[in-house]
């Protein structure tokens, strides 16, 4: 059969799966916000990403969250919003794909731990 996947890896896959799926859904659904709510939501996401990225383990997650916040804020601006909206579609689909891949890894890891 296969080797037993370490518990830390399974937890990492599950966390990345949840983050990818939730992030992808948010990126796809928040691209049509009006200017003021887009600036507020984008600012909150960007600040949260900067706070999270202080930790060495969470730099990638914080960077992705900060970048998503900037995209959300820029998508609310009338003329530039079309380009940012397209980037949000692409990044939302990418995050969903990463989430699905990690869901598959998570369940494979769980299956390898059954006796």
Write down the pLDDT at residue 61.
85
Write down the pLDDT at residue 80.
86
Q: What is the rounded distance in angstroms from the CA atom of residue 31 to the CA atom of residue 89?
A: 8
Residue among 36, 103, 26 at smallest CA distance from 65: 26
Tens-of-pLDDT digits for all 115 residues of the chain?
567 888 888 999 999 899 999 999 999 999 889 999 999 999 999 999 999 989 888 888 889 899 999 999 999 998 888 899 899 999 999 999 999 999 999 999 988 877 5
Write down the pLDDT at residue 4.
81
Write down the pLDDT at residue 43.
95
How many C-beta atoms surround the C-beta of residue 113 within 10 A? 11
Q: What is the rounded distance in angstroms from the CA atom of residue 53 to the CA atom of residue 81?
A: 26
Question: For the chain, what are the domain ranges?
Answer: 7-113
Q: Quick one: residue 2, left, alpha or beta (phi over 0 = left, psi -120 to 50 = alpha)?
A: beta
Write down the pLDDT at residue 60.
87
Write down the pLDDT at residue 7.
87
């Amino acid at each position: 059969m296969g080797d037993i996947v370490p518990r830390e890896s399974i937890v990492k896959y599950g966390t990345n799966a949840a983050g990818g799926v939730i992030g992808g859904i948010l990126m796809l659904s928040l691209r049509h916000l009006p200017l003021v709510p887009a600036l507020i939501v984008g600012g909150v996401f960007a600040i949260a990403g900067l706070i999270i990225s202080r930790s060495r383990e969470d730099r990638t997650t914080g960077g992705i969250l900060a970048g998503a916040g900037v995209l959300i804020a820029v998508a609310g601006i009338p003329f530039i919003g079309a380009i940012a909206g397209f980037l949000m579609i692409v990044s939302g689909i990418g995050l969903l794909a990463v989430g699905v891949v990690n869901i598959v890894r998570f369940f494979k890891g769980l299956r390898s731990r059954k006796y």
